Amino acid sequence: MPSAPAPALATSQTAAVSAPPAAWLRAIAAWLAAHRSYPARARREGEQGTVVLRLVIARDGTVREASLLAGSGHPDLDRASLAAVRGAHLPAAPLPDAPAELTLRVPIRYALETSN
């Protein structure tokens, strides 16, 4: 099952804005965990890896841009990650003085559980 490490602030439109609250980053990670899937073909073929996305998120949570910063080495995992977030509506930024957009670096790890 894919796991969701906490997203990290990459850059923002306003340099004076402090880092987003950890609770908001956890809410985004939880949203990602609930709204993505492990592609069936990738699962069958045992493909695993980490996809790193760059997301530009509006204050209201709308994903305005999504791009691949680092691929997993498996195109199915990369495409599934982008498909999960393009046009999505994530939790809104809880910052009253948040800029119009925030840019986040979001790692998404795909790992298959092994049974012993």
pLDDT at residue 39 tops 70: yes
What's the CA gap between 46 and 109, in Å, rounded? 14
pLDDT at 13 over 90: no
Does the pTM surpass 0.85? The reply is: no
Domains in the chain, ordered, with CATH?
2-108 (3.30.1150)
pLDDT of 50: 95
Q: What is the mean pLDDT of the chain?
A: 83
pLDDT confidence of 15, banded at 50, 70, 90? very low
Give CA–CA dist 9/18, Å, rounded: 10
Residue 7 has what pLDDT?
53
pLDDT in the model for residue 8: 52
